[in-house]
Every structure is written in structure tokens, then in C-alpha cells.
Structure 1
Amino acid sequence: MLQLRPMLLTFLALIAFAGNSLLCRAALANTQIDAASFTSIRLLSGAVVLWILLALRRREHCEGGNWLSALALFVYAAGFSFAYIQLNTGIGALILFGAVQTSMIAFGLWRGERFTTAQWLGLLLACAGLVGLLLPGGAAPPLLGAVLMLAAGVAWGIYSLRGKGAVAPLQVTAGNFIRTIPMALLLSFGFVSQASLDSAGVYFALVSGAITSGVGYAIWYSALPLIKATTAATVQLSVPLLAAMGGVLLLQEPLTLRLLLASLAILGGIALVVLAVNCTPFSRKR
């Protein structure tokens, strides 16, 4: 059972991750800020906060990270923002989370990991839930928004895989955030004709970058050494549900039957894959 400190840290990190979806959707649906500006401000403020955190730990000379990981982080952040122009909070978070986990599981299979029957059933259930969510129909999310969020999820999966096992994850994350700054500026320049800012939108972007991204990642990396890897993977299943609840309560978004059923299939399937690791060899090579 989780002790109080890691439990509190984990809970705060999950709230921060769900908060990213809420803040982005609220900004793009209810303020005048454009997606490119939101992305740039989020990445810039996240880089500043992470740099400050490292400086407070006497690691002000950030040499972590690399350009390929930074590119994956940028693609995630940009796809995330542009997708939330069209998607509701819960649907966006569910597509993102499903794409992240599915891409990471697929990479494991490609590397030669073996699945049990239960794990294969879980993966098929998760994929079926994702397909069911995206099928055409009255409650289906807009296609462009869904594709952009899928791309964001795959990019985040790649970013996570590249950073797996990092000795100094906070320093690596700060280095990657800093490297995204020129990419973000190029994005804003490319969409300068559509640029639009207001105080509320800028505030949401700053909070998303500085608090729910920068501080949120710092809290998560503080919690990770204190909990099991399978526990860390499993508790993240709550993020789309927290985001959906926040969208319903704070943004008056509808909670559809399709979203509920897809959530059960996707999150339940991934949970089956992850939890089976406790009982079976997950990474035996062929």
C-alpha cells in the first residue's frame, strides 16, 4: 500500500496531468488565444520553471535532454493544443492516453516482448475501445481533432520511451523543454497571421506550462522512486477520467454513453496488460 508521502505526491501529479487537458480546452474554447501561442507560452513557461527548479538544486547548467526527444515533446505539445480546438476535455484525454499507452505497448512487442493470453485480450479490448470512440456517428469526435490528438499521443509515447531509465529525469526534461523554445517560436511565426492573445488565455497557458507541466513533472519524478513501476503505470489510468470529470463539472461538457463505454474498454484493456506484469514474465525475449 502506498504510504502517505508518495500517495500525496502521486495524487498531485495526476491532478496536474488532468489539469493540462482542462486548461488547454478552457483556453481554446473560452478565450481568444490561438493554439500556436498557447503552445509557445506553455513550453516557454515550463522551461523557465524547470530551469529554476534545477537552479535551486544547484544544477543551473542544464546539459540533459537531446534534440530528438525535444522534437517529440514539441510535436506532442503542438498536436495537443490544436486538437483541443475541436475536442472536449474527456475525449481528448482518452484519445491521448490510449495512443500513448498503445504506442509504448506496440514498441515492446516489436522489441520481442511476449504477451500472455490475458494481455493480448487487454490490448485488443483497448484497441476496440479506441476504434469504437472514433467510428463515425453523432457522438464521434471531429476527425481532424482526433488525428491530431493521436499524433500527440504517439509523440508522447516516443518521448517517454526515449527518456525511460534516465538517471536525472528532471534535468533531462528541463533540457528538452529548453530545446523546444526555438521550435515553438517557429510555430508561432508560421501562424502569426492567426495570432490572438488575451489576458485569460495567456494566464491559462502560463499555468499549464509553469504549474501543471513544470511543477507537475517535478512532483511526478519525485513520486516515481517511491512507488512500483506497475503502480505508476496503473494509477495513470485515472488521468482521462479525472479530465472528463473536470470537463463535465467545470466546463459543462456532455458525458456521453460512447465516451463511457470507450473509457471502460480502453482503460480496462490497458489495465489488464499492465497488471498482468505482476503475475507473468512480461519481457522475455523470443
Structure 2
Amino acid sequence: MRRGEKITRPQWIGFSFAVLGLLALLLPGASAPPVFESLFMMVAGVSWGYYSALDRESRDGLRNTASNFVLAAVAAAAVTLITLITLITPHARLLSDSGIALAALAGSLTSGVGYAFWYAVLPKLRASTAAFAQLTVPVIPSGQQRDIHGGERESAPAHREHRDTRGNGPNRLWKVLAVSIIRTSR
């Protein structure tokens, strides 16, 4: 918007839905993280948006991001090692080598694939469209979680007996809106 881009009506609608979704995730009674952790997530989101904006003009955004992933992995490994060494609580028994390895592998693969797709699409998007699309990122996984769990999150025995599908329609709507924001930006 700083570059004089005009925001289209579909973008405003998508932006409004994304903001409403973010607010719904943070409402009291929602399964939202505590305020302190929410602030960290917001800072991370703004930082990622800024990073994407800086890298938008890059000749090879994917290569830059891959290099940054390697640097971040070294830092994360050091922090993880320090944390594991100093972790002297009953929760330490819950950690396993295979669990840590699988979490790292799953996180790096999903992030890597996500960034690869993002940097393939990013040069084709207007900056405002990219920014608005990023706002839907926390909302879409929430919808997917509701689709997987069948509405409200329930305990495993209750879930097996009763499948509540109340949450599915609105969450699919979020996904459609995210795609429509991108399509209308062309």
C-alpha cells in the first residue's frame, strides 16, 4: 500500500474475514494460547511479512530462504541442546530422541515446501495481496484442525461416539476466501 497499490473490494473482504478469524482465535473461551505467547506469534507473523516483503525483489528468494533455514537450524539446535541439558523437570521424561527428530523433520519439510510454494507465487502477487493472504495463515490450520476433529475439539472417546460437523462449513469458507483473494489479485 505504501507503493500506491489500490486495494480492491475482494481484497478488503478477504482482509476483513482474515482479521475476524484472527480475532476469533484470540477470543476468551477459544482454544487460544495465552496472551504472552500470542504476542510472540504476532511478532513472528509481522516479522515473516517483513521478511517476505524484503525478499520479494530477490532474484532467488528460495535460495536465500534455504540459506537462512540452515543458519536458523544451527541456532535452534544450540537452543534445543541447552534446553535439554537444563531441563530437570518431570516433563523431561516425555521427550524422546525419535519425537524430537520427527518434530524437526516434519517442521522443516512442511516449512520448506510451504516456502517453496510461497516464493514461486510471491513474484506474481501484488504486495497487498501477499500481505492479506498471510493474515489467513493462522486461521486456515485452525479450520483444518476443526475439520480433522469434526467440529469442537473433543476427547478421543467422545469423538469416536459422536462426530460434530458444525465447524466444517465456516472453515471451508476460509479456505475458499484465501484462494479467492489470490485469484482476484491478478
TM-score above 0.5, yes or no: yes
Specify which of 134, 145, 149 is matched with residue 248 of structure 1: 149
TM-score, length basis structure 1:
0.41
Distance of 1:246 and 1:164 partners within structure 2: 33
**Residue 244 to residue 116, structure 1, CA distance change in 2 (3 Å):** same
1:35-88 Cα deviation digits (max 9, x unpaired): xxxxxxxxxxxxxxxxxxxxxxxxxxxxxxxxxxxxxxxxxxxxxxxxxxxxxx
Aligned-residue CA RMSD (Å): 4.3
Deviation, structure 1 residue 154: 2.4
1:117-176 Cα deviation digits (max 9, x unpaired): 332233223212221232112x34133443333333223222222222432233212221
Distance of 2:144 and 2:102 partners within structure 1: 16
Q: Is residue 194 from structure 1 mapped to residue 121 from structure 2 by the alignment?
A: no
Specify which of 103, 107, 113 is matched with residue 205 of structure 1: 103
Unaligned regions of 5+ residues in structure 1, if any? 1-108, 279-286
Say whether the 8 Å CA contact 1:122–1:273 is kept in structure 2.
yes
Counterpart of 1:175 in structure 2 is: 67
Q: Is residue 141 from structure 1 mapped to residue 42 from structure 2 by the alignment?
A: no
Overall identity of the aligned pairs, in %: 26
Q: Which has the higher contact order (CA 8 A, sep 6+)?
A: 1
Specify which of 102, 117, 131 is matched with residue 220 of structure 1: 117
Aligned length, in residue pairs: 160
Distance of 1:275 and 1:219 partners within structure 2: 19
**Residue 133 to residue 264, structure 1, CA distance change in 2 (3 Å):** farther
Counterpart of 1:68 in structure 2 is: none
Deviation, structure 1 residue 267: 4.4
Say whether the 8 Å CA contact 1:126–1:268 is kept in structure 2.
no
Distance of 2:72 and 2:103 partners within structure 1: 16
Question: SS where residue 184 of structure 1 aligns?
Answer: helix
Counterpart of 1:156 in structure 2 is: 48
**Residue 130 to residue 239, structure 1, CA distance change in 2 (3 Å):** closer
Unaligned regions of 5+ residues in structure 2, if any? 155-163
